[in-house]
A and B are shown apart, each in its own frame.
Chain A
Amino acid sequence: MSTTRSPAGVSAHELRDMTPEQAMLAGTEADGVHIVHRRDRFPVRGTKAEKRAERGVALAFLVSALAGVGFVVAFVALPFHWHLPGTPQTFRFYTPALGGLLAVMLLFMGVGLVLWAKWLMPEEEVVQDRHDEPSSEEDRLMTQATLAVGLEDTGLPRRSLILRTLGLAGGAIATVPLVAMVGAMIKKPGKQLEHTLFAPNTKLFPPSGRIPLVYSDWRRVSPDDLLPGSIATVFPGVHEEGPDGKNGITSAASPTLVIRLRPGQQIEARKGQAGFGWPPDAPEYLAFSKICTHAGCPASLYEQQTTRLLCPCHQSQFEVLKDAKPVFGPATRSLPKLPIDVEIGSDGRQYFVARADFNEPIGPAFWERS
């Protein structure tokens, strides 16, 4: 057997004769780790202090184990089904009980481990060499040469034909998956953002094609439903069957607010929107898109006193009497206004319909919007 020596300069033969502590120290030296200070925390074994520390750690582990048992018991035994208020609400303790027991189990496991290390394991101050100097000049030169010769071996510097065609093939391989994946996901926007389901539809509603305004339960909206100063969220009453059928209530562009002004309130209509309200000459009912022109949240908080609509997401505020013109916050554009009219239904009551679609895209701005 050859007498190979470890990096620390100790032979296997010497190591076998060492105590484990000495052999461990030889190992640290071999790894460039220097123990500058190492001391047993309890040089006198079996003192009261040592036993106390040991019992403390053991107690932590015991508490952890008990909490684990408690968790299993609670998990199985406690009631967890939800019950209506007014009935026994014991289920409300289920999650807190589980959380508390789980936390105690984990916490005391962690505390036990940390205390074990801090109280009982020897205290050590160890210094390790970083070996962070840059690669040696020799290493750099040899690696550089290896790379250079390897490149020369491939002949690429000379064979520009291969280099170029390889580049082409590589480009193809990088592009094709991208095209295949992204290409499959691309959908042409077209004019979809510029229309809503309020667009007249003679097929569904002959002969005028005017879309009825409905509530979220498909009841039609009548002027009598609203008290002065109140609002209602309405939708285009378009409902086609089938998986791809248009649904005016679930469509994200549909939500619209009908506002009934209070007596004496006059509106200042925007250009081209005069007569959009109802009655056309002295409008008392107005309909605006509910979708905020800033970021698309429903601008749904209406303050009767100030006649302002507030969007709760970013606090854009719209003055209803100025045709929902933004007066504060980050929104730039007015809420689009829906031209409405009233028809007499089969039951003889008056019901709202949309005379036409919004005259501009609803919701947040986008690049193609003029």
Chain B
Amino acid sequence: MSTTTRRSNGPRTPQGKAAKFFDDRLNLAGPMRKQLNKVFPDHWTFMMGEIALYSFIVLLLTGTYLTFFFDPSSAETVYHGRYLPMQGIPMSRAYASTLNISFDVRGGLIIRQIHHWAALMFVGAMLIHMFRVFFTGAFRKPRELNWLIGLTLIVLGIIEGFAGYTLPDDLLSGTGLRIADAIMLSIPVIGTWVSFLVFGGTFPGDVIIERFYIAHVLLIPAILAALIGAHLALIVRQKHTEFPAPGRSEHTVSGERVFPTYAAKAGGFFFIVAAVLAALGGLAQINPVWLFGPYNPAQVSSGSQPDWYMMFLDGSTRLFPSWEVRLWGHTLAPLFWPTVVLPTILLTLAIGYPFLEAKMTRDTLPHNMLQRPRDVPVRTALGVMALTFYLVLFLSGGNDIIAKAFDISLNAMTWGGRILLLILPPLFYIVTYRICLGLQRHDREVLEHGVETGIVKVLPTGEFIEVHQPLGPVDAHGHGRLAYAGTQVPKRMNQLGAGTPLRHVRGFFYPVKEKPEIQAALDELEALEVDQHDVQHQLTD
């Protein structure tokens, strides 16, 4: 081929020239098309992780903005800002600059509040995402590594959040920091050394804000970003799990291609998450540090609550009895058990669970299909048990608020929490297990006998029978021959036929009725498609 024709074949449009520029250098055409064509499955539960990711992006953006105004310094200063009630009060520069962001920086308060809400949302979405992964069995081989990365992200997210809300150096966060110091002190043998190492001396010292700051804006976010990258890279590499449905198999993934549909939907969802955070940041007050005042070790306010993700530890601390161990002239503080040992145990159980389950069920196969929680009653019941345990601790973290709101004795709340913490989890295990079995049986019943039609018939013999609509072919006894396939079984007449992904029901509240000529065109397209499939099948057969 001559050079002239080659030139004439070259791209003429600017975007074509740009594409050629990059492809000549990076050899992108193949790999890029692979990513554009990548298929992502769609299910509403898959959006939890997305919410966490998008909250993290919002955190990075708003956090960077805040560093332009925040002064991470424990040095004392006297406030002379716009907020008159604090005029002339000595405080740390960290607290003063937080007031400055809230009152003197135009639009500073909303960014601060969006940052705080995004942090709450980030940890919350991660936790719910973890439960989704747990209850549907998405952590199973080959995805155990991503389960571990996810757990690390949650732990780091909580530490990052704690470091972040400590930075303003207000009365509430300072109280939390003092409890953190007491937790460090409670560690056997090395506790005092750990506390002195972190605080650079006795609490509070004059380095802690500076140290937490660099941990909060550099160390932990860098690790978080790297781990989030790894988490996503593993999803791309291993491809997303999906729920079983007709036409789906362990060896394929079905859904929509990244370009353009999935990208538009995911990009749109980012903006929706950001919109919710912006609305919260603008309309719902969070952490009004100017009402708390600067930190002062002699003061505390009643109803002191930490951010929600610390509340289960606060609750465990409130519930744990005053059991102090004194041995050979040493003291093991009661604080050690609910704040160090308990979270370590919880984390260890979560880390070990995928491997434990694989060992107990002798399951060495890889799984790409998700399970319905009812089909794995033991796991589901264990998960609900863990969730119940967590929720009792969580509510106990605010038991003084509950006691006040409902006029209950505080001591009764504490004792109630202690008792419920031991009784409710096993009870909920049993209840969940029974519910799972019941749901399983109902699925089997519908597959065998059909959907209840609600029609009761009188036979000529006078016998009353209830008419069932079989879901498929029946045997001589009228029993359905469909096997359970791990998918949703239609339970009502109007759900019949909705199981197949190829029949999109158009319309949200009611099915869309097209005009006759358009419906005709649609039918024609569908018929064409069916023909093509038949041809393909004949070719492959």
Which positions in A face B, CB cutoff 8 Å?
1, 27-28, 30-31, 33, 36-37, 39-40, 43-44, 47, 49, 75, 80-82, 84, 94-100, 102-107, 109-114, 116-118, 121, 123-130, 132, 182, 185-189, 192-193, 216, 233, 235, 249-255, 290-291, 294-298, 300-301, 312-317, 326, 328-333, 363-370
Contacts and interface: CB of A to CB of B under 8 A. Distances in A.
A129 B251 contact: yes
Given A96-B282, A98-B282, A315-B400, A43 B518 contact: yes
A100 B271 contact: no
Nearest to A99: B282
The 7 closest A-B pairs by CB, nearest first: A99-B282, A113-B268, A110-B271, A107-B275, A255-B298, A106-B275, A110-B272
A333 B253 CA distance: 61
B308 interface: no
A110 B297 contact: no
Contacts of B323: 332
A130 B239 contact: yes
B278 A294 contact: no
Contacts of B187: 367
A297 B171 CA distance: 11
A33 B174 CA distance: 56
Q: Most chain-B CB neighbours within 10 Å: which of A39, A254, A316?
A: A39
Contact of B182 (A1, A130, A364, A367): A364
A203 to B, nearest CB: 21
Contacts of B84: 82, 84
B271 A36 contact: no
Nearest to A216: B298
Contacts of A126: 39, 254-257
B106 A295 contact: no
B502 A37 contact: yes
A27 B268 CA distance: 26
B interface, size bucket: 35 or more
B182 A363 contact: yes
A301 B303 CA distance: 11
B333 A366 contact: yes
B517 interface: yes
A324 B200 CA distance: 31
Nearest to A121: B261
A296 B179 contact: yes
B502 A252 contact: no
Contacts of B192: 189, 193, 366-368
Nearest to B207: A185
A116 B359 CA distance: 47
Interface string B268-291: 111111111011111100000000
B193 interface: yes
B375 interface: no
A364 B270 CA distance: 45
Contacts of A43: 518, 521-522, 524-525
Contact of A111 (B82, B253, B268, B368): B268
Contact of B282 (A102, A116, A333, A368): A102
Contacts of A330: 317-322, 334-335, 338
B79 to A, nearest CB: 13
Contacts of A185: 197, 200
Contacts of A364: 181-182, 185-186, 333, 335
B88 to A, nearest CB: 13
Given A297-B175, A366-B186, A111 B247 contact: no
B56 to A, nearest CB: 16
